Amino acid sequence: MSRTNHFTTIEQMEADTAKLRETACNVCAETWEDRAKAQTPHCKFGEGGICCRNCSMGPCRITPKSPRGICGANADAIAARNYLRSIAAGTSSHSDHAREILHVLKSASRDGNYQVRDELKLINLAKEWDVETEGRDIYDIAHDVADVGLLEFGKPEGTQRFLTRATEERQKVWKEQDIEPRAIDREVVTAMHMTHMGNSADAEALVRQGLRMSLANGWGGSMLGTEITDILFGTPTVWTTEGNLGVLESDMVNIIVHGHDPAFSEMLVTACEVRELVDYAKTKGAKGINVVGLCCTANEVAMRHGVRMAGNFLQQENVILTGAVEMMCVDIQCIFPALAQLSQCFHTKFITSSPIARIPGSTYVEFKPETAFDQAKQLVREAIDNFQNRDESKVYIPPTKQTATVGYPTEQIIKHLDNVTNSHVEIIGTYKPVIDTIRSGVLRGAVAIVGCNNPRVRPDYSHFEIMKELIANDILIVATGCAAQLATKAGLLNKDAKYLCGAGLRRVCELVDIPPILHMGACVDISRMMLLATGIAKDWGVDITQIPVVGCAPEWMSEKAVSIANYVVSTGLDVYLGIEPQVNGSDQMMEIITQGTRKITGAGYIINTDPHQLVKSIIEGIEEKRAALGI
């Protein structure tokens, strides 16, 4: 039985989790709720960012009695160095992900495991990068494009190629402020060098490097990741799918793909469709193979194949706790090491696949582009063989799920706008229709809601409250990552969510035939949001800092999110945070991240851990931008 309402409340989601925690209790397993409790209260030095272990004279902790570390570094220096190191880790994660995808493009061939699916996007990128295209084989072009892309990581001279996609005003700001990112690896290495013992102690200089390095992510690594993934696997299109635990099937072989790198999950999804394997599943008593996604992988495969989504970050243990998962295959990032032990309480096979994410207790199958499809088929076969080991006495699948319309990269947004402007040739292919609705006040503005969920606040609650309030106030939302997953679980990606909107947004949803929250993909796809905001500013003819568009990460937790928040601020958009960055042990750092960056990039953070107050300040911020534009 499925339960599909207009939307699923947080209380319903929590009730499902409570049932699954009973299962955890029965199999003597712990979950993040238990560990979060055991970790509370959190270390105040860590929370404030004022514990330094950058050399072995320490660790040094800042207190009123000991305001300097042994070397003399104060709270400002230590908090800023720790903050910069977070941005370095986040930038590295997205960018290394992109590098892997570029290597996959390098290995692509007509008869190999990976092909070029979006030739037009490849040709356009080749032209943007001055790679010869005339009369050449598409794979020769692809390999040259991959080489040029790979050089973005280590080229000795010059800045990131994608910077020229930004508005002229942004390019000028980045140049004048000396935060134009050079090679991606260079920016990360510079950050690590700056934070080594005995180097920078100046908080502002450290934050400036954070801005520059984050741009190497948003307008470098992440943008590369998105572009090359589209070239290899196709630019996403609109799909109707479903989300939440109810997408697991009691009578099918359930295979979960979890992580971020689509090279792995794409192969598994394709393998699950192989006729011979589906038939094999039937010989084992299953009705078929049910492949579903978790976290950002879910976003990737939902947008390209309509694959259903089991949930977001803090749902990962719940999925195993259903007792109905034959295999969970993970690649990189945001994977709880706890999953290995938890899987052992059930029949679930837990497969790791990347040398970047090795987890004790997992079965490690290193995934290689040359053998990818055979490896994927072998894993699916093993999952099918495991179906007979399912212990029905441990199985409980909460029936809750919602339908969701997903897959709105910028190309799809433009296409939908074009559909309603067919008589006005001059605005075809532009954001002018949406600008007109913002100008006239039918829409007040737009908010990009991104990021994780986090036990520091009631998980998913902040997302839900903020989203409902924004759409009720005629503010369109674009979402990625685990925020988009919450919208999926809640039913807010359903076109019926228009009934929760103000009259203006509802009219837009009906006219353009969209839900009020547009699912733009995984966290690397926040680069798509940067291009969307850039396109709006260009078509409007104003600076990006002027448009009534902001970013919001209500429940962020990862270092990737710190890097993202910095590149969004560097791009000129304010970022509203529902979790405080770990720098509050330094008054100077709190001032820099909320005010100081405004003098550099024109934007900064607004922080409030109360979602109702946060959404109030978002709406006020949007109205202020409108007033400044005289609209």
Hey, is 391 helix, strand or coil?
coil
What span, in angstroms and rounded, lies between the C-alpha atoms of 112 and 358? 27
Q: How far is the CB of 523 from ligand BF8 (least distance, A)?
A: 3
Is the Cβ of residue 361 or residue 455 nearer to ligand BF8 in the bound state? 455
**Which of the choices ligand BF8, ligand SF4, none does residue 295 contact, using the CB cut-off of 5 to 8 A by kind?**
ligand BF8
Residue 302, interface with ligand BF8 (CB under 6 A)?
A: no
Hey, is 253 helix, strand or coil?
strand
Query: How far is residue 69 from each of residues 60, 349, 562, 588, measured CA to CA in Å?
Result: 5, 47, 25, 17
Taking CB under 6 A as the binding criterion, the range among 4-12, 50-58, 362-370, 455-463 that sits at the site for ligand SF4 is 50-58
Which residue of 295, 414, 442, 533 would you call a contact of ligand BF8, by CB under 6 A?
Answer: 295
Taking CB under 6 A as the binding criterion, the range among 13-21, 57-65, 126-134, 572-580 that sits at the site for ligand SF4 is 57-65
Taking CB under 6 A as the binding criterion, the range among 166-174, 555-563, 594-602, 612-620 that sits at the site for ligand BF8 is 555-563
Which residue of 19, 27, 58, 143 would you call a contact of ligand SF4, by CB under 6 A?
Answer: 58
- Encoding tokens for residue 98? 């992109």
What span, in angstroms and rounded, lies between the C-alpha atoms of 350 and 160? 38
Is the Cβ of residue 558 or residue 584 nearer to ligand BF8 in the bound state? 558
**Which of the choices ligand BF8, ligand SF4, none does residue 297 contact, using the CB cut-off of 5 to 8 A by kind?**
none
Which residue of 523, 537, 549, 573 would you call a contact of ligand BF8, by CB under 6 A?
Answer: 523
Place of tokens 């040094």: 60
What span, in angstroms and rounded, lies between the C-alpha atoms of 431 and 80? 39
Is the Cβ of residue 13 or residue 77 nearer to ligand BF8 in the bound state? 13
What span, in angstroms and rounded, lies between the C-alpha atoms of 618 and 45? 30
Q: Would you list the DSSP string of 33-54?
A: HHHHHHTPSPPHHHHHT-EE-S
Residue 353, interface with ligand BF8 (CB under 6 A)?
A: no
Q: How far is the CB of 56 from ligand SF4 (least distance, A)?
A: 7
The residues pairing with 256 across neighbouring beta strands, listed in sequence order, are 292, 328
Residue 420, interface with ligand SF4 (CB under 6 A)?
A: no
**Which of the choices ligand BF8, ligand SF4, none does residue 452 contact, using the CB cut-off of 5 to 8 A by kind?**
ligand BF8
Residue 560, interface with ligand BF8 (CB under 6 A)?
A: yes
Tally of residues, the chain: 631
Q: Would you list the DSSP string of 186-247?
A: HHHHHHHHHTSTTS---HHHHHHHHHHHHHHIIIIIHHHHHHHHHHHH-----EEEEESGGG
- Encoding tokens for residue 518? 């547009």
Residue 486, interface with ligand BF8 (CB under 6 A)?
A: no
Residue 15, interface with ligand SF4 (CB under 6 A)?
A: no
Q: How far is the CB of 180 from ligand BF8 (least distance, A)?
A: 25
41 phi, psi to nearest 5 deg: -75, 150
**Which of the choices ligand SF4, ligand BF8, none does residue 272 contact, using the CB cut-off of 5 to 8 A by kind?**
none
Using DSSP bridges, classify how beta strands 402-406 and 239-243 pair: parallel, antiparallel or unpaired. Answer: antiparallel
Which residue of 15, 18, 25, 70 would you call a contact of ligand SF4, by CB under 6 A?
Answer: 70
- Encoding tokens for residue 535? 């396109």
Burial 22-31 (b: 16+ CB within 10 A, else e): ebbeeeebbb
Encoded one letter per residue, x for contact with ligand SF4 by CB under 6 A and - for no contact, window 191-220 reads ------x-----------------------
Residue 73, interface with ligand SF4 (CB under 6 A)?
A: yes
Distance of CA 498 to the CA centre of its chain: 24
**Which of the choices ligand SF4, ligand BF8, none does residue 615 contact, using the CB cut-off of 5 to 8 A by kind?**
none
What span, in angstroms and rounded, lies between the C-alpha atoms of 446 and 205? 32
**Which of the choices ligand BF8, ligand SF4, none does residue 54 contact, using the CB cut-off of 5 to 8 A by kind?**
ligand SF4
Task: Tell me if 614 sits within 8 A of 584, measured CB to CB.
Answer: no
Residues that bind ligand SF4 (CB under 6 A): 52-55, 57-60, 69-71, 73, 78, 197
Residues that bind ligand BF8 (CB under 6 A): 260, 295-296, 312-313, 334, 451-452, 481-482, 522-523, 558, 560-561
